[in-house]
Structure 1
Amino acid sequence: MSYLRRVSTAALALFLALAPSAAWAGPDQDKDWIVTGQHVDAPIPIWHDDTSSFSLNTINLPMEKTVLWLPKAWTGTGEKDEAKSQLVVPAGRPDLSFLGAEGSVLNAAPQNPGPGNTPIWAGLGAGEIGDTDKFEGDTYTLDLVSVDGPGRMEMFIDNGDSVNRFLSSHDTAYRSVYNPRHTHLYTTFTQPGRYVATYKMTARSADGKAIYSSPLTPLVWQVGGANPSEGTIKDIASAYNAARPERGDGQGAVPTLTLAPHAQREHPGDNHLTDITIDTGVATDAGRAWITVNGYFLTEVPVEAGRATVSELLGADAVSVQAIYIPQDSSSARWISQAAQYSQRDKEPVSVGTGEQLLGPSNPDPAPVWNPDSLPLSSRRVDVSYDLKPGTTDQYTATVRAADPSLRATYKIEFLESKYDFSPWCSMEGTLGAGGMDTKAQDLGVCQGEPMHMRVTIRPHPLSDAVMTVAEASDVTVGEHVGLTATLHVRAGASVPEEPAPDPAPTPDPAPSPDPTPTPDPAPSPDNGGGTNPAPASPLLNDPVEIARGHLDVRLTQQNAAAGITYGLAVKDDSLTAARTSVLRTLSSTTLAVAPNARFVRPSSLSDPSYDVLGPVGSATYVLPETQNSDIVWPGLSTEGIDYAALPDGADLTLHLAEAPEGARAAFFQGGAFGSAAKVHFDSTKADGVVHTTEATHMHGNWVFSAPGTYRIEVGARSGERTLVAPQSFTVVVRAGHHADRPAPGGNDQPVPTPSPGPAPTPDPGPAPSPAPSPDPTPSPDPTPSPDPTPSPDPTPTPAPTPDPAPTPDPGPTPSPDPAPAPRPFPAPAPNGGPLAPRSNGGNGGNASAGGTQATGGANPTSSTTGAGVSPARTGVGSGAPTSTGSSSSSPVTAPKAAPSATPRANGSTSGAQSGALSTDGAQSGAAQAPVDGTQDAANAVPIAAGNEAGRSRGWSPYWLVLLVIPAALAGGGAGYLIRTR
C-alpha cells in the first residue's frame, strides 16, 4: 500500500505558533554555534538511508542549533574600501525591483566577502544525498516554507548585468531550489533584526508512492546588532516583570529614546546608518537595553552612565523601534519606550518618551506561508520558444510558458551537436513558479548556421502530479524563431487533464518584457570549495587529465617536517573526473577544457573601464564565471590549510601567461556588485598577476580568454621577497563553435611563448578575432541512412541491429600524420552524475540534461512534442522529427514548422555560446542533476566517446561505433557493465 509521509497544514500551523517560544524570543546565547566572519553553508541537506528521510545542517551541526550573524563590515583597504554588509539598489535596473526602490540600501550578506570572510560568507550546501535514483526523476527540493522577521529576505546571485533569484520571503514563485549544490550568493534583508527562515526537504520515492521529507527546520539569521552570544536576557517579558518598577533614589528621571542619522563618517556606508540612543535621564544608571524593530529582537547592549547608543541600517520603509531598559544597579527603574517610527531616509532626529506596553512581533508586510500538500496539474502543455531580438543578429528572448500557471518545475534547454553529446553549445536553465512562465535573454550566436539537436528537460516539483519529461527535436536550425512544445508525463494514478486541440499552425506569443531572472536550479557537486584537503600525506596524481566541468582549486599546500615547513602547489580536483572522490593533482598534468558555451558578449551594463579585460562592449570572449555553472569548469584559488603565523608578509599567488595563441589575452578578475568596478587581479597585457592573502583564503573569479586556442598559465607563490614555490603551469584549451575554429595541434593556432611583460603597461589590444573558418569542401551526397529502429516498450534486451551503412566521408584534404601527444583540444566530458549515455529510448529511459537523468516508472505514456526550426535530417543524427524521451510510447509526433534561415552574424564569428553570467550560473547553469560525490559509480567519470574532438564532421563519427557496441553490450549483460569494466 502506498503511503505519504507529509507534514500536515495543521502541524505547520502548530509549529509556527510554537516556534517563537516567547513573543520576544531572540537572544540566541544558548545556541551551539554563532556563525560569523567565515565561510558557511546552510542549509545543507542530509539523507538518511535508515529512515528514508532528510535533515538539514549548518555545515556539520543540526541547523536549528546554529545562528548566522550578519554584523557591519568593511573591506578596510585604501584601494577600494566599501561597506560589505550593505547593498545599494542601483538606478536603471528594473530587474532589481524585487529588492526595493532605486537607492534603497539593504543589509546584505555578500556574494563576495571582505577580508577574513567578513561579515559572513554564506551559501547553500550540496549536502550528503548519495545516489538520486531512489527519487522519482532523480529530483529533490529544498523548500522555503516561511520567513518570520521584521522585513523581507531575498537570496540571489549577481551576474553583473543580470541576477538569478533563488529564494524569497514574500514572492512564493521563489520557494524551491531543485537538487541544491554548493552556491554562494547574496542574502539581503530590508530591516535589521532577527529572522527565522523555516525550511524543509521534499522528494518522492522512485515508484512515486511515498513522499520523503525533513522536519520543518528553522534557520536563524541575526541581522545587525551585537553578537548574540553576548546576550544576558532570554525572555524580555519575564525580565521586565521581575525588574524594579520604581526608582530607589527618588529622582525624577525622564527617560527618552532618540533616533537620528549617524553623524560620524569613519567607514563607507556610515551615511546610511541610524543612531538609536536610550537615555535613562540619570547619569549614574546602569543596566541593559533591549531594542526591537517591528517588535522583533534587534540587539541587547549595556547601559552605562545612563546611556547606550547603537548604529544600525534601518530600511527604506519606516519601522517601529522600541527600547526596553532592565536595571542592574540599586536605584534605577525598568522602562519601556514608546514606538518611534523611523527609516534610513529620515534626516531629522525623533525622540519619544515612556510607553505603556511591550510591542510583540508585528511585520506590517508579513511573509506568506508556502507548504502545499500536493500540486495538481491542470494542463500538460509547456511551450518553449526563442525569438531573435530586433536589431540584433544573435541575441534572443527565450520564453518558457506552461499552460498551467501553477506548475512548479525546473527546466533546462540545450542545443547540442548530436543527441548523444554531453556538453551543450548553448543552454539555459531556470524555474517555473507562480505564473508558470520564465523569460530570459540569451546569446545563440554559436548555435546558428548548422543544424543542432534541441533538448528540453522539465523536472516538476516532487509534490506535482507531473513527472520528469524530456522533449527533443533533431536537426533544428536556429533562425529568427525556434521552439518546441513539450507534453508533460503524468504520474500513474493521477488524473490526466484534458488538453484542447492544438491550433493548426500556432503562432508564438510576443516575447514579454523580461521579468527578474528566476533561480537556476543548482545541481549538486562534491565539496565545491570546502577547506579540507584530501589525504594530505598522499602523493599528487600525475596522470594527464582534462577537466571540462566541476569545481577545482589551484591550492597552496604546506608540509610540516623536522627540517621546517615546505610549500607546494596542487590542483584540488572536486570534479570527479577520472576519480571517485576529491583528489590532489599536479598542475602540469591538468588541462581545463573550455567549451563553446563559455562564450560571453560584454554587455553595455559592464561599461566600467575595469571590465576592458572583456574587450570592447559587444565583443565576445570566453569566460569561466565566478560562480559555478554546471556545464563549465569552475577553477578557483586557495590557501586554505596554510599557517600564516609562519608568513608575516602573507602569501602571494602569482599568475603569468606563459603561452597563448598569437595576440590573445588572459585575465582574472572579480566583478563588482551590479556591474560596478571590478577588481582585476591579472591582465596578461599589462603585468603578471598577484593575489595577496594574509589569512586562509578561498576565492573564485572570472577567468577570461580572448580567443580560441591553447593557453598555459604559470602559478607561483611567494611571501614578501621569499619564494615559497617556483612557478608551475596548467593548461587551458578553449574550443570555439565550429571545427574550423578549433585549435589543432600542429596548426597555426599553436601556443607561442609569451615573455613576462615589463613594468610599463602596453595598450589593450582589440578583441582577437577567431581564426577565419576555411570553407567546407562540397560534400558528396550522403547515402540515405536506414531508419532508426523503433524502441521497444519492453526493456528486454534485443539482438544487436544490423548496422546502418557507414556514410561516405566528405572529401577533403588528406590528413597529416598525428603529431606527438599533446593535450586534446576538447574531450567529450564525462556525464555529471547522470546515467551513462547513449542509452536506449525504450522503456522509461531517456537522455536528460548534460549528464542525463532517467525518468522513473509510472509516467503516462501519452507524450508528444512539436517543434519549430527543424532542417532536413542529417546522417546519423536523427529522423528530422522531434522526439519525446522518457516515454514508452511510440505515439506519433507533430512535424515541426520550418524555421527561417539563420540570421548572419555581423562579425562573422562562429564562437561558442554565451555563458549568460560573469559571476554565476547565469543562463546556463544550475542544472538539476544527480549529485556528484564519492558514492557515484566510477563509470560516471569515464568518457564514452570523444566524437566532438574532431569537429562537426558530416562523415563518420565515433558515435556510429557506440550505436553498434551498445546493443551488443545489452545482449551480453548491459552497457553499464561494459563501461564499468573498461
Structure 2
Amino acid sequence: MHPSFRRSVAIIALCSATVMYSPPAFAGPDDGKTVATKGHVDAPKTFWENNNFVLRSERGSKGSELIDDSVIWIGKGWEENGKSKYQFSLPTDHTMDFIGQPGQTFYTAPDLMNGNHEPIWWGFGADSALPVQDFRNEAASLDIISVTGPGEMEVFVYDDTNPHLLRHFLGTSENSPHSSILTAGAHTHNSTLFTKPGRYQVTYRTTARHKNGTLIASPPSTMSIQVGGQEPKAEKTLSTQERFDAAASMELAADDYTFKVAPKEKQEKSGDEHLSTLSFSAKDTSLSGTLTLFIDGYFLTDLPVTNGQASWDEMLGEFDSKIQAVFTPNDQQHGRWISEELSYKYKQTSGTTSATNKTTWTDSSNMQRQVQPTEDIQLSNPGIHARFERVNETVNRLIVEADDPSYIGFIHGGFYSKHNSQYATMNFEGLIRNGRGQFTFNDDDGIYDDDSIQLKIIPHPLMSGGSLDTPIGGRYGNNKTPRYDGMLTIDNTQPNPSPNPKTDITTCNNKPVLDRGHVDIAASMARHSLQTTLHDDTAIVDNKSVDRRLDQVVLGVHDNAIKTQRKDKLKFLDDNYYLLPQTQHNDIIWPGYSTQAIDYSQLDGSVYLTITPASIPSGASWGAFLDASLSGDNQILLDSTTNDHLIEVGLASHAHTNWAFSSAGLYTFKVSYSAKTKAGKRITSAPSTLTFAIGDETLKKCATGNYIPDNKPTPPNPAPPTTEKPKPGGSSMFNLDTFARALFGIVASVGALTTIGAILAKFIPQPLLRSLLGR
C-alpha cells in the first residue's frame, strides 16, 4: 500500500520498563526484577566478559542486566487501526502444525511493531566484541538447556506471502530446534509464541569450541518470562506462601467466596473473542486482599480484591488447562482460601465456591524439563549427504543427512552467481538435529539458475568434529539435481577454507568499507539539540560496536545484491537493481535507522529522517520500501523519482527497510534528523554525509583512493515539476531549501500560514513542506 501524504513510519519502538507501585500484598515471583517490556529487547544477548560468555537482557539504549536479574513481560497490545498485536493464529498451510491445529490462536510477541510500543519487540543476538576469530568455524551457539512453564515456547519468523519459508530459530517442544548459531553482532527480529499464558523459566547457555579443541561454555542462566497477567512490580513483595501463612484460617461457608472462568461477554477490541474472564466475588462487599491465579500449577497473575470483587480478562489459549485461585485477605477477620482446580476448556464456563477448600495449591514451578544435553558428543560416523527436493513449483528445499544419527550442527553456505563468486546471492541457514536438517527457499522464475553451490556444515560446539566446506558439483537449476556425498572432518579442527576465499576491498577513497553486518543511522538528543551518528555493529573496523560519524566510512554493496524485478514492480527501479534487504543477509550490509535514544516526551510530535541526494550516478534512481504482505503492496518510504526524501518516525524506534539502487556507482547523501520541542522550537541535526559504493566495479575503482565519479544529481524522469531544475552537485536544491525555510519563517512570524499555504505548496517540494510544517 502506497503511503498517504502524511506517511508515518513508526514500526519498532523501545521504552524502558514502566515503574508501577502497588500494595505489598501483591506477590508476583518476579517482582523486584528489572522488567523488559513495551519496546525493543534483545534477550538473551551474548557478551564476552572475563574470557567467557555472559548472557544479558539488553533494553536498547536503556542498559542491560543479567538475564537472571530481569523478567520479560508480554502483555496485550493493539495497532493504531485496532488490530490485535499479541495474538497469532496458526496458518492454514500446515507449516506450523508442530504447534497446533490451523486457525488456533496463541499469545505471541510479534516480530514487528506498528503504531506503539506494545506488547514487546523481542529478539536475541550477540555483541560485536565476541572473539569469533578464536572459535572453530568462527561461530558460537545459543542453546536452550531446560524449561519450566505451563506450555511451549517457539521462536520463529513467518511470512504470510511465502509460507513455506518459515524460519524456526528456537523452541522448547520435542521437535523444535534447541540451538541457534551466533556470530559477532548478530541479532534477530522474530516472533515468540507461547501455547499457554503464565510464568516460564528458560535456561540458556552459549557455547563455542576454541580452535585448540577446548569447549567454552557460559554458566547456565535462567530467564523469567511472564506471559499475560499483570506487569511484575518494581519492588520485591511477599511470596504467595508468606501471605498465605500470615492469613487467618477459618471455616468458610459455601457462599463466602466464588471463583469462575467464562468466555468474555463484552467483546470490544480485536482479539477479545479469544479471551476468558476470571472473576472472584465475596459475600462480604467490604472484603479486600489478593487473589493469586495459577495455570497448571504455574503462576499466572496477582489481582487486587476490592469491595469483595476481582476480575481479569486473559487469553488462556485453546488447549485444556487447570486453573486454581488462592485468596489471602488483608485482615484477620476474613479467612484465606484455596480453590479446587477448575478444568478449563476453550470457550466453556466453569466455577467453584468456598464450599470446597483445598489445603494446598498445585505448585509445578520446580518441574524442570531438560530439552538438550550438555555433554560432549563424539562423532561416530563422518558420512554426510546433501540433495535438493522440490516442494512445489516455486519452492525448493536443501536436505542434509548425516550418517551419525546423533549429529548436531548448522547448514551454511549458499548460492553464488556469475556476477560474484565470492559473496553469496543467498545464504543457506538451517539446523541439523538428530542427523537431519533442511533449508527451504523460494526459487520461482529460476532466479538461481546457473548459480554455483557452496555447502558449509558447522558442527555444534558439543560435537567432537564434523565440519565441511565444499562446492557441490555442477550448477543449480535448469532441471539439474546436484547432490553431494562425502565425509565430515573427524576431529576438532575445521576444514580448509573454500576454494574462492574472499578478497575484501577494505577502503573506498581512503575510507573503511563496511560491506556486511548491521549499522543504524542513529539519532540522539542532548541539551535540546539533535545529533546523527552511524551505530556500527559490523566489527569490521573495530572489534566492537561503535558510534562514528557517517562520513568516516563507506557502505559497500557487491554484485551479489543484484536482483531482478518479477512480481511486484517498483516504479522507481529498472528490471535489474541492487537490493539491500529488509531482513539480514550475511554477505550484504544491513542498514537501519534508529530514534530509540530519543526521549519523545520532550518533543511535540514526530522525529523526521531526511535523506537528500548530494551526488548520484547520472540517470540513477533509488529508494526504500517495506516488504509486502497479504494486507497490501510494498510500502514506499523513499522515492527519488518523486523527490520523496523524508521518513516520519512517530515513536522511539529501531527499524529496517529495503534499500534499492537502480545501477552501480557512488551515491552520496546528506542525512539529518529534525523535530520540534515542546516549546515550539524546531531542532535539526547538522547534515552528515552518507556514501554507498554500489557494485564490484565501483568498489574496485574507489579502492585506488582517488576515484571521482562523473555523477549528476539530476533526478531521473519522471520527476515532479519544480520551479527550477536541480543543477549538478545539488546546488539548486540546497538554494531552494534555504529560500523556502527563510520564506516560511517570515510567513510564520506574521501568522499568514493559512492564507498562503496553498501558494507555498506550489513552489516547495512536498517532503520539504512536510518538514517545515512538522508533519
Normalised TM-score (structure 2): 0.74
Change (3 A) 1:314 1:623: farther
Paired residue secondary structure (2:261): strand
**Contact persistence 1:289–1:303 (CA under 8 A):** yes
1:751 Cα deviation (Å)? 7.3
The CA distance in 2 between the partners of 1:623 and 1:580, in whole Å, is 27
Greater mean alpha carbon deviation, residues 196-205 or residues 317-326: 196-205
**Contact persistence 1:545–1:589 (CA under 8 A):** yes
Partner of 2:36: 35
The CA distance in 2 between the partners of 1:476 and 1:639, in whole Å, is 44
1:21-45 residue CA offsets vs partner (Å, 9 max, x unmatched): xxxx982355441222232222233
Partner of 1:647: 603
Which letter does structure 2 place at the counterpart of 1:649?
G
Partner of 2:194: 189
Q: Does residue 69 of the first structure (1) align with residue 73 of the second (2)?
A: yes
Partner of 2:55: 56
1:267 Cα deviation (Å)? 3.5
1:389 Cα deviation (Å)? 7.4
Structure 1 unmatched runs, 5+: 1-24, 494-540, 605-610, 740-744, 761-982
1:762-821 residue CA offsets vs partner (Å, 9 max, x unmatched): xxxxxxxxxxxxxxxxxxxxxxxxxxxxxxxxxxxxxxxxxxxxxxxxxxxxxxxxxxxx
Paired residue secondary structure (1:300): strand
* Structure 2 counterparts to residues 141-180 of structure 1, below 5 A: 141-160=141-160, 161=162, 162-180=165-183
The CA distance in 2 between the partners of 1:620 and 1:99, in whole Å, is 40
Q: Does residue 122 of the first structure (1) align with residue 122 of the second (2)?
A: yes
Partner of 2:204: 199
Change (3 A) 1:221 1:389: closer
The CA distance in 2 between the partners of 1:322 and 1:337, in whole Å, is 6
Change (3 A) 1:647 1:106: same
**Contact persistence 1:707–1:734 (CA under 8 A):** yes
Partner of 2:674: 718
1:371 Cα deviation (Å)? 1.7
1:409 Cα deviation (Å)? 0.4
Aligned length: 656
The CA distance in 1 between the partners of 2:124 and 2:87, in whole Å, is 20
Change (3 A) 1:375 1:749: farther
* Structure 2 counterparts to residues 229-244 of structure 1, below 5 A: 229=233, 234-244=238-248
1:188 Cα deviation (Å)? 1.2
Residue identity over aligned pairs, in percent, reads 27
Which letter does structure 1 place at the counterpart of 2:260?
T
1:551 Cα deviation (Å)? 1.2
Equivalent position to 2:218, from 214, 217, 221: 214
Paired residue secondary structure (1:112): coil
**Contact persistence 1:260–1:274 (CA under 8 A):** yes
**Contact persistence 2:383–2:485 (CA under 8 A):** yes
The CA distance in 1 between the partners of 2:311 and 2:697, in whole Å, is 61
The CA distance in 2 between the partners of 1:568 and 1:62, in whole Å, is 30
Partner of 2:441: 441
The CA distance in 2 between the partners of 1:542 and 1:585, in whole Å, is 17
Partner of 2:107: 107
**Contact persistence 2:403–2:435 (CA under 8 A):** no
Partner of 1:314: 316
Partner of 1:13: none
1:67 Cα deviation (Å)? 1.0
Paired residue secondary structure (1:240): helix
**Contact persistence 1:660–1:712 (CA under 8 A):** no
**Contact persistence 1:660–1:754 (CA under 8 A):** no
1:592-628 residue CA offsets vs partner (Å, 9 max, x unmatched): 3333444567898xxxxxx765999xx8765423332
Which letter does structure 2 place at the counterpart of 1:629?
H
Change (3 A) 1:670 1:716: farther
Q: Does residue 547 of the first structure (1) align with residue 514 of the second (2)?
A: yes
Change (3 A) 1:675 1:216: farther
1:488 Cα deviation (Å)? 0.5
Paired residue secondary structure (1:229): coil
Paired residue secondary structure (1:316): coil
Partner of 1:753: 715
1:167 Cα deviation (Å)? 0.9
The CA distance in 2 between the partners of 1:718 and 1:420, in whole Å, is 39
Equivalent position to 2:227, from 216, 220, 223: 223
The CA distance in 2 between the partners of 1:308 and 1:546, in whole Å, is 60
**Contact persistence 2:289–2:328 (CA under 8 A):** yes
* Structure 2 counterparts to residues 699-738 of structure 1, below 5 A: 699-705=655-661, 715-719=671-675, 722=682, 724-725=684-685, 730-732=690-692, 734-735=694-695
Change (3 A) 1:70 1:492: closer
1:271-294 residue CA offsets vs partner (Å, 9 max, x unmatched): 322211111232111110001111
Structure 2 unmatched runs, 5+: 1-25, 59-63, 494-507, 700-706, 723-775
Paired residue secondary structure (1:753): coil
* Structure 2 counterparts to residues 617-696 of structure 1, below 5 A: 622-655=578-611, 659=616, 662=619, 664=621, 666-669=623-626, 680-684=636-640, 688=644, 690-696=646-652
**Contact persistence 1:613–1:683 (CA under 8 A):** no
Partner of 1:5: none
Partner of 1:412: 412
Paired residue secondary structure (2:95): helix
**Contact persistence 1:172–1:434 (CA under 8 A):** no
The CA distance in 2 between the partners of 1:106 and 1:676, in whole Å, is 24
Greater mean alpha carbon deviation, residues 684-693 or residues 378-387: 684-693
The CA distance in 2 between the partners of 1:576 and 1:46, in whole Å, is 14
**Contact persistence 1:33–1:66 (CA under 8 A):** yes
Greater mean alpha carbon deviation, residues 59-68 or residues 543-552: 543-552
**Contact persistence 2:174–2:371 (CA under 8 A):** no
**Contact persistence 1:45–1:54 (CA under 8 A):** yes
1:628-649 residue CA offsets vs partner (Å, 9 max, x unmatched): 2221111111224334454323
Partner of 2:275: 273
The CA distance in 2 between the partners of 1:102 and 1:711, in whole Å, is 47
**Contact persistence 1:41–1:125 (CA under 8 A):** yes
Q: Does residue 569 of the first structure (1) align with residue 532 of the second (2)?
A: yes
**Contact persistence 2:623–2:637 (CA under 8 A):** no
**Contact persistence 2:397–2:439 (CA under 8 A):** yes
Partner of 1:299: 301
1:140 Cα deviation (Å)? 2.8
Partner of 1:802: none
Change (3 A) 1:432 1:303: same
Change (3 A) 1:473 1:420: farther
Please state which structure has a larger fraction of its residues in strand: 2
The CA distance in 2 between the partners of 1:462 and 1:188, in whole Å, is 27
Partner of 1:283: 285
The CA distance in 2 between the partners of 1:614 and 1:221, in whole Å, is 45
Change (3 A) 1:676 1:350: farther
Paired residue secondary structure (1:239): helix
The CA distance in 2 between the partners of 1:381 and 1:419, in whole Å, is 33
Change (3 A) 1:643 1:167: closer
Change (3 A) 1:735 1:47: closer
Change (3 A) 1:282 1:471: same
The CA distance in 2 between the partners of 1:485 and 1:702, in whole Å, is 38
**Contact persistence 1:88–1:105 (CA under 8 A):** yes
**Contact persistence 1:542–1:586 (CA under 8 A):** no
**Contact persistence 1:613–1:704 (CA under 8 A):** no
1:193 Cα deviation (Å)? 0.5
* Structure 2 counterparts to residues 560-959 of structure 1, below 5 A: 560=527, 565-579=528-542, 581-584=544-547, 587=550, 591-598=554-561, 613=570, 622-655=578-611, 659=616, 662=619, 664=621, 666-669=623-626, 680-684=636-640, 688=644, 690-705=646-661, 715-719=671-675, 722=682, 724-725=684-685, 730-732=690-692, 734-735=694-695, 752-754=714-716, 758=720
Change (3 A) 1:351 1:601: farther
**Contact persistence 1:143–1:202 (CA under 8 A):** yes
Paired residue secondary structure (1:57): strand
